[in-house]
Structure 1
Amino acid sequence: MNDDLLFSDATRLAELIRTKAVSPVEVMRAHLDRIDAVNPSINAIVTVADGAIAAAQAAEAAVLTGQDVGPLHGVPFTVKDSIDTAGVPTQRGSPIFKGRLPEADATSVARMKKAGGILLGKTNLPEFSYWIESDNLLSGRSNNPWDVTRTPGGSSGGESAAIAAGMSPIGLGTDLAISVRGPAAQTGITSMKATHGRVPMTGIWPRAPRRFWHVGPMARSVRDIALAFSQLQGPDGRDAFATSTVSFDAGIGRRAGHRLRVGWMVGPGFGPVDPEVAATVRAAAGALEAMGIEVEPVGIPALERDFALDVFNRLHVMEMKPAFRDATAGHEDQMYKMAKTMLSLPETSMTDFIDAEQAAERIRDGYAAYFRDFDALITHVLPIPAHKHGVEEFVIDGQTVDATYLQGATVPLNLTGLPGISMRFGTSGDGLPINVQIVGSWLAESTILHVASLLESVSPVRTLHPSL
C-alpha cells in the first residue's frame, strides 16, 4: 500500500492527478484498500459510496482527454453521516433513520463534487450529531487511531478518525459547539469552523438551533482547509443565514504592510486546562513571536463574567428538544443516550432564556472589543488530549469537571459565530496530539488561515500520522 498516496494532503493528490503522475483510480483504490485494512478496528467509515471506482475512472478519462478539471479533481472525500448525499445513505447515527436515501446532495457536498472531488464514503457520529463521542445504536463506536481505547471525539469523530488513519484525505463535518474543532484536536488533524453563514447548512440535520450550527472542512493541512473553504463558501439561495458575498480564494495571504498583532490565552473564562495543553498554547504564541509578530497574553473580561458554556446550555436546549421529540416520536425504543438525556432536561424558563440571550450579546461585544486591537487569538481547543471512552468526569489541573467542560474554549465561537481553526502544534507525554485554536474576527478566515500556515511551517510535531 502506498503511504505517499494515503498520507499526502488533498492539494498534493490533486496536483499528482492533474499532472498525470498518478491516476484517480489508483488513488481511490489505495483508499478503499486502506478502509478494508484499518476500518474494522477504527469504525470511522459507516458506508462506502457505490460508484466510487466508476467516478474515479471518469475522472481519469477527463484528465487523459485534456478536459478542464476542478481544483479537487479525482480526490476522494468523505462526509459526516448527518450531511445529505444523493443516493448514498444518510442515517444520522440512529436506527430511526436506517437506510434513509436522500434525493439530493447537501450544498456543501454538491460544491465538493463541483470542485472535482469524488465521494468515497460516510463517517460515524453520535446519535443526531449530539455528543462529544461518536457512538450510536446503529453503527457503534468510533475509536481513535492513535489509541483505540480513546475517543476520536464528536460529533465529527468518525470524520476525524478516517482522515487521521489515512482512509480519507479530506472531508466535511458539522459543528454546534465543538464538533469539527474538538475531533480534529483529538486526532491531530486540521479543521475550520468558518464565520457563521459562510458555508450553507442546506441539506444537513438537525438545523435547530440554526444560529449555532456550522459545516466545515477537515483535512491534514492548512492549505487543504483553505482550498476546500474557497469552494464551499458563499450563499446558495436557500440557507437564510448564508448571505455573505465576501470573496475568498485559496491563496493564504495577508494585508500588505500590516504587522499582525496576536493575543493568546488559556483562561480564565474557559474552565481548567491541563498544563501540557497550556504549554502548547504558549509554545505556539512563542513561535509566532519569534517570527516578528507582535504577541502578548490577553484576557477577555466578558468570558469571565458570563461562562459561555452555561450560556449556550440555557439557549440551545429549548430549541433542540422539539427537533429531537419530533424525530423520535413513535420510535422511543430506538433512542440512545443523548436523545434520552436531551428529552429529560428541564425546560428553560423564558426569564432564563432572555437572560442567556443578553449574556450571549455581552460575549459577542467582548470579542468585538478584543478584535479592535488584535488580528487573531490563540487558545487551546480542548483542555486535555484525547480521553478514554465513556469518561463522564475529569480532573483537570486539580479541578473536577463533567465532560461538557471539554467545550469550554470552542463553544464561545458558536455563540458569537466567529471563525476558528483547530491545528496540531504539540504532543502529550502519552504521545497524543495537542491542537491549538486560532480565532479570528467576523469574516476574517484569510487572517487565521495565514496565522495557521505560519504555525504549520514551524510546527515541532514530527509524527504526523499514527502507525496502524
Structure 2
Amino acid sequence: MNDGPNDTTDLFFRDATDLAHLIRTGQTTSAQVVQAHLDRIAALDPAINAIVTLNEHALDEARAADAALRRARATGGGPGPEIGPLHGVPFTVKDSIDTAGVLTQRGSPIFAGRTPQTDATAVARMKAAGAILLAKTNLPEFSYSTESDNLLSGRTNNPWNLERTPGGSSGGESAAIAAGMSPIGLGTDLAISVRGPAAQTGIVALKPTHGRVPMTGVWPRVPRRDWHVGPMARTVRDLALAYSILEGPDGSDGFATTPRGVDTGVGPAPQRRLRVGWFTDSGLGPVDPQVARTVQRAAEALRGAGVDVEEVTIPALQENNPLALFNAQHVMELKPAMAEATAGHEDEMFTMSTTMLSIPDTSMADYLAAEQGFERIRDGYAEFFSRFDALLLPVLPTFAHEHGAGELTIDGQVVDATHVQTFTVQFNITGMPALSMRFGTSTDGLPIGVQVAGPWHAESTVLHVASVLESLSPVKDQHPDL
C-alpha cells in the first residue's frame, strides 16, 4: 500500500487514509481518484443499485483540490495546515443526511426532488477536512428498515451475492464501500443501521457514543435520543480518522455537548493489560453457529495478542430484552412524526412505513416499563465496564440473508427477521460506542462480523481493540469478486 498506483484500477480498494497520502505526496491526483470511483460506479452500480444521486460537480471539485495543492507547494514547499487530512478524497453519504445543492430524498417519493440549501454538520466537517462529496447512497424509506429498498430508487443488492441484502438502513452506503465505489462514507444508526450493514458486506463501521457526532441536518430526528451518525469505511484507521473529524458539539444539537477530544478510554498504549469480556448469547436469542465460532476465534486472537479475555454474561440483558423494550417505546415517539410527514401522501408510502403506522399505540404503562428496562440495562453495563475495558460479541445473529425475508431460521429456531437487531440495539438505547468489523466467512462465502463495544466516551478503546483484531484477521483485505 506504500507504492504509488500504476493506473486508476489500483485505487478502488485503497483506503481513504492511503488515498489522502497519495494525493498529498503527488503520487496521484484527486481528479484521478474521483474519476476512478466514478468509473467504478458506472461499471458496477447497475447491478448493485447503491448510488441514488451523483454529485455532478465532483470532478470540478477534485480539480480545484489539485490546484490548491499545487499552490500550497509553490508558496511553501509543501502542503500546509490549510490542506486537510482528507484533501481530495471522495466520500459518499446516506440519503437521509442533508447535502447542500445535492438531492436528499430520504428514500421516498414524498421527498422526490428535495434539494437542501445547507450541509448537515457531519457533511460540512468532512468537506472542511478536504473530502469531496461523490454521491448519495440508497436506504429504506425514512431509514426505517433492515433492508435498503423503497419506491423511489428501488432495492440495493449485496456485492458478495446479489440475491442477498446489504442490510439497512445504511445498506446503500455499505454496498458502495464494499464494492469499491467509495472509500469512506457517512451513515446513521437507530438500532443497527451502520453496524449491521457493515457486517453483511464485510466493511467496518463505528457508532460513536450518543451525541458525539451532531445529528443536525439528518432526518428523521425522532427519537433523537437513539439516533447516531457514524463513519463507514474499509479499515479501522479510516474510522479513527473520520471520527476525529466528525466528533464535537456544533451549537445546534442539544445532545452534542461533550467537548472535542474528551475520551475515557485506555487508549492504544495502556499501562496495564486490556480486559475484554465476550459472549455469543447472554439471553439474547439464537445465534448461527458460524457467527458464534467467529466471535470465539476473535476472542482467542485477542488472548494470543496479550489481552486478558474472559467469557461473560450480562445479567441485565438476560432479564431485560433490549429489542422488545425498544419496540415498545420508540413506536410511540416515531409514529406521530411519520404520520405528519406522510399526511396526504398515503399512496406513496412503502411497506415499512404503512406497517409502522398500523401498529397499535404503546400504553403509557408499557412505555414507562420500557424506560425502566433501559435504565436497568444501563446499570448492568455500568457494572460490567467497572471490570472490563471492552466487550466482544456478535454484530448480527446471522449473516446476510435473502431479500425480503420475513422470518429467519437461526440454529434451528424460526425467528422474526427483526431479530437481526438484537445484538446492536442495546448500544443505541444505552448510547455506548460500538464498532462492527469482519472477522470470518460463512460456508457460502458471505462476510461474518464481530462487534466491539466500550463504555461511554471510550472510542479510543473500541478503536484500539478493533485495530488489534484487524491486524490478526484471517480475512483482511478480502473483497467481493465483481
Name the TM-score, length of structure 2 as normaliser: 0.95
| Equivalences for residues 54-453 of structure 1 within 5 A | 54-66=60-72, 68-247=82-261, 253-453=267-467
Report if aligned partners of 1:248, 1:446 keep a CA contact under 8 Å in 2: no
Give 1:367 shift: 0.6
Secondary structure (helix, strand or coil) at the match of 1:467 reads coil
Report if aligned partners of 2:184, 2:231 keep a CA contact under 8 Å in 1: yes
Tell me, in whole angstroms, the C-alpha distance in 1 between the residues paired with 2:309 and 2:36. 43
Give 1:100 shift: 0.1
Q: State the 4+ residue runs in structure 1 displaced beyond 3 angstroms.
A: none
- Counterpart of 1:31? 37
Give 1:271 shift: 1.4
- Counterpart of 2:76? none
Give 1:444 shift: 0.3
Secondary structure (helix, strand or coil) at the match of 2:302 reads helix
Secondary structure (helix, strand or coil) at the match of 1:210 reads coil
Tell me, in whole angstroms, the C-alpha distance in 2 between the residues paired with 1:390 and 1:339. 15
**1:49 maps to which of 24, 46, 55:** 55
Give 1:248 shift: 6.0
- Unaligned 5+ segments in structure 2 are 1-6, 73-78
Report if aligned partners of 2:8, 2:32 keep a CA contact under 8 Å in 1: no
Report if aligned partners of 1:223, 1:252 keep a CA contact under 8 Å in 2: no
The percent of aligned pairs where both chains have the same amino acid is: 66
The letter of the residue matching 1:86 is A
Tell me, in whole angstroms, the C-alpha distance in 1 between the residues paired with 2:347 and 2:266. 49
Report if aligned partners of 1:163, 1:219 keep a CA contact under 8 Å in 2: yes
Report if aligned partners of 2:148, 2:168 keep a CA contact under 8 Å in 1: yes
* 1:141-183 C-alpha deviation (Å, 9 max, x unpaired): 0000000000000000000000000000000000000000000
Q: What do you get for the CA RMSD once the two structures are aligned?
A: 1.3
Secondary structure (helix, strand or coil) at the match of 1:7 reads coil
The letter of the residue matching 1:266 is T
Tell me, in whole angstroms, the C-alpha distance in 2 between the residues paired with 1:464 and 1:409. 25
* 1:167-226 C-alpha deviation (Å, 9 max, x unpaired): 000000000000000000000000000000000000000000010000000000000000
- Unaligned 5+ segments in structure 1 are none
Name the TM-score, length of structure 1 as normaliser: 0.98
Give 1:246 shift: 4.7
Count of residues in correspondence between the two structures = 467
